[in-house]
Structure 1
Amino acid sequence: MIKPNEDIFKYYFYFIQERMNIFWNKYTENYPLTQDSTLHMYKFTNVYRAMDRVSQYLIKNVIYTDDNFSDKDILLRIIVFKIFNKPETWEYLEKEVGRISIENFDLRRINNALLLRKEHGPIFNNAYMMTGTHTLYNHLDFKHEKWLQMVKEELIDQSVLDKIIDSNSLSEVFDLLRECSFIGDFLAYQYAIDMNYSNVIDFCEDSFVKAGIGAIRGVKKCFTNESSKKYSNEDIIKFTQDNFEKYQSIFGFDDFKPLFGREPSLIDLQNCFCETDKLLRVKMPELQVQNKRIKQQYKETPMPLELFFPPKWNINHKIEKSCLEPTKRELTLF
């Protein structure tokens, strides 16, 4: 039987509720956003993955555009954007080489443009630790060249994109991506979710989950050794979803306000284990599982929150500030 360490697991639900309160407070311009000094000082992702600014950019500016892109074009655009995971790099590329598509995927032009861009700063987002080591591509000098060559030779030329279009499940998309060079479990799952934001594929986000390294650390902290040894991390994430309301009630965090009626899915709960691991480095520093400190501090951006979600979620029409009340309840700070 899966059994959490309740004295620790409560921080998972505390994070979810307080981080969501921060979002609603910011959205309704209700300051201060939080009384929690840790959440105020350090950078933590949103409860919902699709709410984070890079995901929002991907959905609005890469996937759902006014251009008449084919299904393969859309998948290619998602992959190319996510390799760098940096809106500035994407905008630069589309300005220099044109709209990214199968027809316009000219490696020489793209690589040359990126070499010039590198002179003015990083082209990769440091949120993903991108590697570039594989014997097939050792003849290339730069990491971005290796990644883009892999996209050309494997995803396009070996028809992986076509296979994804014809796939029957989210786990099958994960498996297809996992077979590609450089793409491990974490990126395969993240890319599969990104592709699932589009209309090219449409699988339930609760049908498959894969724990990343940070989530695994969070699971190890929140669950007994017996549970973490006997059950997979994915089993425990699913257990958390199945018992979500139960533990919200037990820990007193049962007035959680979901994203316009959309409950957190497995990808969101997986991400929250990663963020809880970070939170516990401050709240319970004696629980050491590899990383000992939080690396990124929070810097508020002046950019407004202009939310847009995959239209198939059917929640965009609910995004109206006038219908939202500021979150005024203060949670107990551990």
Structure 2
Amino acid sequence: MVDKIEDEFDDKLLDLFWQFITERQQVWHRRVIEEKPSPWTDNEILKQNRFTNVYRQLDPGTQYVIQNILEADAPREDKIFNVMMYRLIGRLETHEDLGFQSLDSFNAETFEEELKYRRDEKGETVFTGAYMVAGYSQMGSSDKVENVSTLFGRISSGIEYFNDLISANSAEDAYNLIRSQPGFGNFLSYQVLVDLLYPVDYYGGESVLPFSVNNWSSPGPGAQKGLKRLIGDFNEFDRLEVMRWLQQNQDQEFDRLNLDFPYLMAEDGEDVRLSLADIQNCLCEFYKYHKILNSDGRARRRFRDSEARSAQELRSIYESAPSFSIKKTR
């Protein structure tokens, strides 16, 4: 069945998908590696609208997770707890201000006081507005800070939960365990899972959970819409099968279209190929891109050069990245 997937794609849209992600990665390369001034592309849609990076690990928020949570000298349970907290809050500045949380010393009341102080006294935004997260009505309050504090108080007291996650039989089983917690919907649970699958130096190149980002994926609503644009009828094919085909055939597809995709380079000089998690993300961004291209929608976020991080700031973030080297990016 997998061999037949390529025959079911809309050829023009499949080509557009690879062209879009190539140009998006070229934007990053010109901006960060070549340090060229903006604009970094002639594509008007990419000039004017904000799209996330092709490689998920290039996002500063993901690098924060890798460098400040996954690489921390702490038990796996604490790292899982902090990744869940960081992804639900969604703001790097909030977690950075709170600091790395230990399960042994976590206090929900203190946590709530600190969040309220940031929100009410300092007038700062506590949670992200970049994506929607599930409601917390079952936590018993109309105040999100109180609900989130109660939620993490409950999670922190269940050591069996973390043991179950660490001993899960598959990435999908681990995802379902994350998904079982209130507030962790399909999208958020998958983001947590992917974070826990990044190889880190602390474990000698292994990850917190013993699986690979290419073992399994859960396409979120945006990725499903992107898939539907590429291959409309899923009666014969599973979405994961289609994503696997895209991930496994990326080299051939770039060659077929004569696209110069600027792969990241690993420390050993090998290309870092797009993972299933990256493909999932690219499908979501492609859906947004195609909507704008066809004038049937617009991006939620516009790109403003004046608000963007400088190339130097981005390079400083990547300098400590354990999984790739920007110096060797071609």
Which range, TM-score by smaller chain?
A: 0.7 to 0.9
1:200 partnered with 2:208:
yes
User: Residues 296, 258 of structure 1: CA spacing in aligned structure 2 closer, same or farther, 3 A cutoff?
Assistant: same
What TM-score, normalized by structure 1, do the two folds share?
Answer: 0.84
- Write the distance in 1 (CA, Å) between the matches of 2:281 and 2:320: 18
- Please provide the CA RMSD for this pair: 2.1
8 A contact 1:237–1:270 mirrored in 2: yes
- Write the distance in 2 (CA, Å) between the matches of 1:202 and 1:24: 31
What TM-score, normalized by structure 2, do the two folds share?
Answer: 0.85
8 A contact 2:63–2:321 mirrored in 1: no
User: Residues 154, 200 of structure 1: CA spacing in aligned structure 2 closer, same or farther, 3 A cutoff?
Assistant: same
Q: Aligned ranges for residues 235-274 of structure 1 at < 5 Å? A: 235-253=241-259, 255-260=260-265, 261-274=271-284
User: Residues 279, 230 of structure 1: CA spacing in aligned structure 2 closer, same or farther, 3 A cutoff?
Assistant: same
8 A contact 1:12–1:276 mirrored in 2: yes
> How many Å apart are 1:122 and its aligned residue?
1.9
SS across alignment from 1:187: helix
1:191 partnered with 2:192:
yes
Equivalent residue for 2:135? Answer: 132
- Write the distance in 1 (CA, Å) between the matches of 2:168 and 2:319: 26
The total of aligned residue pairs comes to: 303
Gaps of 5+ in 2: 201-206, 266-270
1:131 maps to a residue whose letter is: A
Instruction: Report percent identity of matched pairs.
Output: 24
Q: Cα deviation per residue 1:173-226 (whole Å; 9 max; x = unaligned)? A: 112112222222222211111122254223111100110111111111111x33
SS across alignment from 2:315: coil
- Write the distance in 2 (CA, Å) between the matches of 1:70 and 1:122: 30
Q: Cα deviation per residue 1:53-94 (whole Å; 9 max; x = unaligned)? A: 1111121223223xx312211111111111112111112223
1:35 partnered with 2:42:
yes
> How many Å apart are 1:324 and its aligned residue?
5.1
**Which of 46-55 and 30-39 deviates more?**
30-39
Equivalent residue for 1:278? Answer: 288
Q: Which runs of 4+ in 1 moved over 6 A?
A: none
Q: Cα deviation per residue 1:144-195 (whole Å; 9 max; x = unaligned)? A: 3323322332464262212112223212211211222222222221111112
- Write the distance in 2 (CA, Å) between the matches of 1:308 and 1:262: 16
Gaps of 5+ in 1: 326-334
8 A contact 1:117–1:123 mirrored in 2: yes
1:4 partnered with 2:9:
yes
- Write the distance in 2 (CA, Å) between the matches of 1:200 and 1:248: 32
- Write the distance in 2 (CA, Å) between the matches of 1:92 and 1:238: 39
Query: Which of structures 1 and 2 has the larger relative contact order (alpha carbons within 8 angstroms, sep 6+)?
Result: 1
User: Residues 309, 47 of structure 1: CA spacing in aligned structure 2 closer, same or farther, 3 A cutoff?
Assistant: farther
1:133 maps to a residue whose letter is: Y
Equivalent residue for 1:221? Answer: 229
Equivalent residue for 1:18? Answer: 23
